[in-house]
Structure 1
Amino acid sequence: MSYPLRPLHLAAEIGGPPRYDPVHHTGLAQLAERGALDFVTLGDSFARPGPDALAALSRVAPATRRIGLVPTVTTTHTEPFHVSSAVATLDWVSRGRAGWCVDVSTTAAEARLFGRGPAAPAAALWEEAGEAAEAGARLWDSWEDDAEIRDAATGRFLDRDKLHRTDFEGAAFGVRGPAVVPRPPQGHPVTVVDGTAEQARETAARHADVVLVRAGTPERTAGIRDDVLRRAAAHGRDPGTLRVLAALTVDLGDAESTPEPGLESGLPLAGHGTYYRGGPVDLADLITQWHRSGAVDGFHLTPITPGRDLERIVNGTVALLQHRSLFRTFYPGGTLREHLGLARPANRYARRGERV
């Protein structure tokens, strides 16, 4: 299946071994911003120690101006109402640059941390994640954009006619609403889902704005992309509103060395994704090849050593792509949705005129 070639999108992970110094994550986000990357992600999991990714990026937000901020947020063992409020808050404090990478917690050890029940199968967890994403979107819409009046003369703070109940009922939870945080600047913060695993693809197709794909060749990547986009169309979505990024772990330790045998044109699977080792120039060539083939809209790069490799990505790979006029040199807009070429969603309740 062929799709029109879109502008190249680039993102990077700024996590790694646990770091508790805010200067660390802030410095990496500022470095990525100097390269005009679309967004940075910060991984998180209940299975390992480390700071809360969403809270950490809320600290990074005032120290950056344009780059998108996308923490990993698990929908397992958490409450959708609280998650949606926290993500909306990140969108407010970043002035419209927030997203969230939806994830699930699959292990028995993580379940024991909360004590609510045993670990569930991945398929059930991803179904719950989809419901959490739907509930979050409804909560973000539960305030119309002009619901706040702030009229001191009359003492009216809100127009109650512009607040709406969500009345969402899922298999594992129900959410009445409305939210306690006003509608975010972007309407809906950007939703990111890793759609590589079969169990996650339906959630990606129904709810994601950005889909990450981990596969070893452009052909395999394009196959997963086509599957997700077909499913999205079956749900009544315009496939053109999804951005598909190849997820790649990057080791630029030998700055200008040639890739190891087998890495020149195809990337072997390594652990939870694909792995690249080589120099910044070779990485730029690979990104160019995959993007021009139409396999992906861009790349999400995870530096194996963030402090070292992100600098080489920005000052080497990205600079070369910019020199070739393949990647922008500045941000044309201010929000993450604008970086990605995505429209601000209309408010579903405002159209229907529902009332509290």
Structure 2
Amino acid sequence: MTTHSHQMHLAAFALAGPVSGNHGGWRYPSADTNLLSASYYKRLGQLLEGGRFDLLFLADVLAVPNRYQGSIDSQLRYGALGSLRLEPLTVLATVAAATERLGLASTISTSYFEPFQVARSLATLDHLSEGRSAWNIVTSFQAAEAANFGRDEQLSREERYDRADEFVEVACKLWDSWRDGAVVLDRETPLFVDPSKVAPIDHEGRYFRVKGPLNVSRPPQGRPVFIQAGASGRGRDFAARWAEVIFVTHSSLESAQEFYRDMKQRAAKFGRNPDDLKVLPGIVPIVGETRTIAEETEGLLNGLVIPEAGLSTLSYHLDIDLAAYPQDELLPQVDVPGVQGHYKEVAELTHRHGLTLRQLGTRYGVGPLRDFVGSAREVVDTMQHWFEARACDGFMIQAPYLPGGLEDFVRLAVPELQKRGLFRTEYSGNTLRDHLGLARPAA
């Protein structure tokens, strides 16, 4: 076995709903569609922990998207991205009870919640899981989401990030409003909590006024691990300032290398150690005992994707109704109010492969990057190439269907990664910060 001076990180991207890495995945014959049961998510967590994954990441959305044709029909009918979504923190609490080491990450929007509530929920999960919580910080951009929270429209991109910066600052103050060791539990004195180690935060800012202190003691990790997926200029700066894990999707190795370089430089500009920022691009690996088996699985999965399902989700991501454009022509140059990273990715795909909008819908529906299909050796060869070419610090695995797509990866690809010394064979610590090689922040 060769050992590398540093090893890659593996996270699993999943939803508490039907889509992971493929919009037709729920239709796959052996897919488990028992999406509303605790046993489904516990099994997922135990599978990932058996594969020594760093974390399970549950993405979220706060509406059934209605951007495509101004209707929720396509999302619901085709089981697309936002068709059904359980509340992720509740789901992760059930996974926490069924696992011991696996990191537990939840998307929570800074646009629709309050810092006190979020700080409290995440501190609770961190305590109950003994230091395994993570927060994917999103700013939300959909009118459909705004309409569920009594707003007529979204804040501008700049304002959303201004609010997010202050939101995270307040949450950090709340986690630090209890010093380490504040909980004494001395029956004799009696002294339950040392009052000298708990203080209000008295925050008064542009968006928030919060007295504090938090009513939960400082989390085992000091604070949860921060995940971010911003790809616009402002989003990249926000991630460089706060994030410890970055989730991104690319359509080529070259764009991944450019992003990786840029993010490490931005982190350094914020006075951070660039190694404390882990860049994990999303990939949809299809691993088989042989290349033929993997390609047959891929063909089956691709045949289950309805182009409208992909276009419906892409419309949601870009915040543009793609039904309004000719379906047999290329994606036009558009000004994107939504996720700029997704637009860059699909624009690159369109121009490289000359895809019509309808073809793009199918392509988007089968998930990012088709470079990771084959035998375990072939898939790991490509992963190793990306890793050593400084395009990433590991990967966000988006299984094309569950649990089978993930079982194949854990059974076939993980041992190959371990054999090459590219991935851990055992956890060396207990907390998610331990897995990621991150220090616990001082209060």
Map 1:145-294 to 2 at 5 A.
145-251=180-286, 255-257=293-295, 269=349, 271=364, 274-276=368-370, 278-281=373-376, 282-294=378-390
User: Could you tell which deviates more after superposition, 243-252 or 179-188?
Assistant: 243-252
- Paired with 1:148 and 1:117, the residues of 2 have a C-alpha distance of 44
Q: Residue 93 of structure 1: CA displacement?
A: 0.8
Larger Rg: 2
Question: Which residue number corresponds to residue 11 of structure 1?
Answer: 11
- Equivalent position amino acid for 2:93 in 1: S
User: Could you tell which deviates more after superposition, 16-25 or 138-147?
Assistant: 16-25
- Equivalent position amino acid for 1:274 in 2: P
Point out the structure with the larger helix share.
2
- Paired with 2:43 and 2:375, the residues of 1 have a C-alpha distance of 21
- Paired with 1:216 and 1:297, the residues of 2 have a C-alpha distance of 17
TM-score by length of 1: 0.88
Q: Which runs of 4+ in 1 moved over 6 A?
A: none
Q: 1:87 aligns with which of 119, 122, 130?
A: 122
Q: Is structure 2 residue 419 aligned with structure 1 residue 323?
A: yes
Question: Which residue number corresponds to residue 428 of structure 2?
Answer: 332
Contact 1:20 1:50 (8 Å CA) reproduced: no
Q: Is structure 2 residue 80 aligned with structure 1 residue 42?
A: no
Q: Residue 164 of structure 1: CA displacement?
A: 2.6
- Equivalent position amino acid for 1:28 in 2: L
Q: Is structure 2 residue 64 aligned with structure 1 residue 29?
A: no
Consecutive unaligned residues of structure 2, counting only runs of 5 or more, are 20-34, 64-81, 300-344, 350-362
Q: Residue 252 of structure 1: CA displacement?
A: 5.0
Question: Which residue number corresponds to residue 330 of structure 2?
Answer: none
- Equivalent position amino acid for 2:13 in 1: E
TM-score by length of 2: 0.71
User: Could you tell which deviates more after superposition, 126-135 or 283-292?
Assistant: 126-135
Contact 1:196 1:214 (8 Å CA) reproduced: no
- Equivalent position amino acid for 1:141 in 2: D
**Larger RCO (CA under 8 A, 6+ residues apart):** 2
- Paired with 1:116 and 1:163, the residues of 2 have a C-alpha distance of 36
Secondary structure in structure 2 of the residue aligned to 1:183? coil
Fraction of identical pairs, as percent: 38
- Paired with 1:5 and 1:128, the residues of 2 have a C-alpha distance of 40
Q: Residue 232 of structure 1: CA displacement?
A: 2.1
Question: Which residue number corresponds to residue 407 of structure 2?
Answer: 311
User: Could you tell which deviates more after superposition, 27-36 or 237-246?
Assistant: 237-246
- 1:135 to 1:307, Cα distance in 2 relative to 1, 3 A: same
- Paired with 1:249 and 1:138, the residues of 2 have a C-alpha distance of 38
- Paired with 2:231 and 2:115, the residues of 1 have a C-alpha distance of 24
- Paired with 1:318 and 1:194, the residues of 2 have a C-alpha distance of 25
Q: Cα deviation per residue 1:219-264 (whole Å; 9 max; x = unaligned)?
A: 321222222222222222222221111122345587433999xxxx
Q: Residue 275 of structure 1: CA displacement?
A: 2.8
Q: Cα deviation per residue 1:245-299 (whole Å; 9 max; x = unaligned)?
A: 1122345587433999xxxxx9975549723362352321211111111221100
Q: Residue 206 of structure 1: CA displacement?
A: 1.0
Q: Is structure 2 residue 156 aligned with structure 1 residue 121?
A: yes
- Paired with 2:227 and 2:128, the residues of 1 have a C-alpha distance of 19
- Paired with 2:281 and 2:12, the residues of 1 have a C-alpha distance of 11
Secondary structure in structure 1 of the residue aligned to 2:12? strand
Question: Which residue number corresponds to residue 167 of structure 2?
Answer: 132
Contact 1:195 1:228 (8 Å CA) reproduced: no
- Paired with 1:140 and 1:59, the residues of 2 have a C-alpha distance of 23
- Paired with 1:184 and 1:54, the residues of 2 have a C-alpha distance of 16
Consecutive unaligned residues of structure 1, counting only runs of 5 or more, are 261-265, 348-356
Question: Which residue number corresponds to residue 354 of structure 1?
Answer: none
Question: Which residue number corresponds to residue 353 of structure 1?
Answer: none
- Paired with 1:255 and 1:134, the residues of 2 have a C-alpha distance of 49
Q: Once superposed, what is the RMSD of the aligned Cα atoms? A: 2.5
Secondary structure in structure 2 of the residue aligned to 1:275? coil
Paired residue total: 339
Secondary structure in structure 2 of the residue aligned to 1:279? strand
- Paired with 2:150 and 2:179, the residues of 1 have a C-alpha distance of 37
